[in-house]
Each structure stands twice: as C-alpha cells, then as structure tokens.
C-alpha cells in the first residue's frame, strides 16, 4: 500500500512539473503541440527601400533618385526605428563630401528631416529622423502600423568620372528590422560636369601678403572637345566689396596679371577642352591694391556657368581681406 501510494505520488509530481514547464495539461493530446515555434531572433519591424517605378539613370547635376521607404511594425508593442539611406559610389572614392544632396520627407509618418553623414570610406548616410531632431533620435512606430517616407538624392559634379553607378541601401542602427536588399542605380555622363577644387580653403590677403592657391577645373562628365573659358570671381555680386584686388596667374614660371574689373577675371582659356576625368591646373595669386574698410571675408570661386555648361562651386575658399595697416604714403 505504501509502495503504491509512493508510485502514484511520483506520477502526480511529474505531471505537475510538466504543467509548469509547458503551460499545458499533462494529458493534453499531442496535436496541441503541433506547428513550428517562432524563431527567437524574429524582428518586429519589416523595412523596405524601393526606387520609383521608371527611375531614369542618374546624372551629375541633373536627374536624381526618388525612392520610397516603408516600415511595418508587426508586433503588439510600439517599436523604435532609426533608419538611414546609404549611397556608395561604384568606382573611385570621392575626395570630399560635396558629391551628393539628400532630402527626406514624410508620406504617412511624423514630420521628418533628412541629415547627411559620411563614413571614412566616403560612403554617404542620409539619416531619416523626426523633424528638429539630432541624427541619433529614432522614430517610434506604433503596434501594427506602417510608416512611409519619400527620400531623394542628387549627384553633383564632384562625383568622380569613373563612377558609373551607385549602390543604395537601407540600414537601421537599432537592428530591430529586416531590411530590403541594396539596389544599384546607373549613373550617366552628361557633357559639362565641371567641378572646381582649391588647395587652400581659407586664407588672408593684405597689403603685406597675397593669397595663393592652386585651382583645378575637372570634367567628371563626358568629354568636352572645345575651348573652355572659365571666369574667377571674388564675392558673388550680391553686395559691393570695399576692396580692389589684383589677380595673377603663374605661367611659364612667371606671374602674369589677368585683366578684370569689379573683382571678376577671365582666366586663360582651356584650349581644346577636357576629356572625361581630366583636369586643368591654375596657380593663382590675389593681391590687395585698395581698401576702404578694416577687414571682411568673402568667397573665391569660379563663376557657376561657363560657355561649356555649369560648374559645381559647392566647395570654395573663404578669403579674409585685411586692410590694416594701410601702406605708408610719403608726403611732400
């Protein structure tokens, strides 16, 4: 009798243990356990980035990319989402940050802002964040809700000539979403994708010292086979400049004064044009000849248009004009 009671008690304990471990009655039929359990690494969000149907090849300074980004929260709880659109050139690595413009706006989502960032290998990341927020601030996606955004970017002339495509991807720093695969968009080469580049991006010109810099004019588009006539200017003409500057260009190891007026000068022409990816080098020197103020600063750049199309002038040097002390003038 004792042995029988002990055996029966052991069976009841085993059944109770099974109920606690599984949450299911010990005598439930086997069909109650049918089906594959959900994987433990399932992510609550599904995110996609898709180009607009009929997306044309991109052009430097022209046709850009228009894409739609969506995220769906399939869970029963609100979820954070911190997306970014990455753009990686297929070819040469751009030397700076001025090869792309980025924009993001909400379609069916909270008010949105696009912020630009770059990694060490010049891969661009356009963060999509709530309006008036820093780049690290995520969205909160309500349970069983889909948000969507319109994102776009344009390529500028600073993208190297041998980049014939860009790879566009979607990332989420919070790693709580499955993301669509990257897409590759082709890049065409229009004639006249000209870009300026200077060796110095800041400096001072005064009566005591000139400002010197190297200027490279590069064609990142299709070949230009006719003469290019670039114009260099100080300021943009929107306000009068209380200074008169002289421009010299180094030719055959000698400084040659370039004719001009109102701080605008026609540089020596690029005879024969420029091939795809080719550059033309100028070494220029600014000298101060007259000044009616104390000091001010303005930008030195090529004119944004030449007889061979537009010039990308996003990156340019800021030059400080220092008019003190004025040169000594002897009196009778």
Hey, what domains does the chain have and what are their CATH numbers? 45-188 (2.60.40.1510), 194-322 (2.60.40)
pLDDT, position 122: 66
Between strands 58-59 and 183-188, the pairing is parallel
pLDDT tens for each residue of the chain, 332 residues long: 434 444 433 443 333 333 333 333 333 333 333 344 445 568 999 999 999 999 999 999 888 999 999 999 999 999 999 999 999 999 988 887 889 999 999 999 999 999 998 776 668 999 999 999 999 999 999 999 999 999 999 999 999 999 999 999 999 999 999 999 999 999 998 877 999 999 999 999 999 999 999 999 999 999 999 999 999 999 987 778 888 999 999 999 999 999 999 999 999 999 999 999 999 999 999 999 998 877 899 999 999 988 888 899 999 999 999 987 655 555 55
pLDDT, position 323: 85
CB 311 within 8 A of CB 233: no
CB 124 within 8 A of CB 94: no
State the Cα angle at 135 between 52 and 42, rounded to 5°: 70
CB 228 within 8 A of CB 307: yes
Helix (H, G, I), strand (E, B) or coil at 19: helix
pLDDT, position 324: 78
pLDDT, position 331: 58
Predicted TM-score (pTM) of this structure: 0.78
Between strands 318-322 and 202-206, the pairing is parallel
pLDDT, position 16: 36
């Amino acid at each position: 009798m004792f042995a029988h009671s002990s055996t029966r008690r052991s069976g009841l304990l085993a059944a109770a243990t099974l109920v606690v471990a599984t949450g299911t009655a010990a005598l439930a039929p086997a069909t109650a356990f049918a089906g594959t359990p959900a994987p433990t690494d399932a992510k609550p969000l599904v995110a996609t980035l898709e180009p607009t149907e009929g997306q044309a090849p991109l052009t430097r300074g022209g046709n850009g990319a228009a894409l739609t980004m969506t995220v769906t929260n399939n869970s029963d709880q609100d979820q954070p989402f911190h997306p970014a659109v990455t753009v990686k050139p297929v070819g040469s690595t751009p030397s700076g940050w001025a090869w792309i413009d980025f924009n993001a706006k909400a379609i069916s989502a909270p008010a949105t802002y696009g912020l630009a960032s770059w990694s060490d290998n010049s891969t661009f990341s356009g963060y999509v964040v709530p309006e008036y927020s820093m780049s690290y601030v995520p969205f909160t996606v309500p349970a069983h809700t889909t948000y969507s955004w319109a994102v776009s970017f344009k390529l500028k002339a600073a993208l190297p000539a041998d980049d014939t495509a860009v790879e566009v991807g979607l990332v989420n720093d919070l790693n709580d979403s499955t993301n669509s695969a990257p897409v590759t968009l082709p890049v065409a080469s229009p004639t006249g994708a000209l870009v300026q580049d200077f060796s110095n991006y800041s400096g001072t010109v005064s009566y005591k010292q000139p400002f010197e810099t190297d200027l490279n004019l590069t064609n990142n588009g299709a070949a230009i086979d006719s003469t290019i006539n670039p114009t260099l200017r100080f300021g943009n003409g929107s306000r009068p400049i209380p200074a008169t500057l002289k421009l010299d260009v180094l030719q055959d190891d000698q400084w040659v004064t370039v004719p001009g007026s109102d701080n605008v000068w026609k540089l020596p022409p690029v005879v024969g044009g420029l091939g795809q990816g080719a550059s033309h080098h100028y070494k220029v020197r600014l000298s101060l000849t007259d000044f009616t103020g104390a000091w001010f600063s303005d930008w030195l750049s090529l004119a944004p248009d030449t007889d061979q199309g537009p010039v990308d002038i996003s990156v340019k040097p800021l030059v400080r004009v220092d008019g003190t002390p004025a040169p000594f003038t002897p009196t009778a």
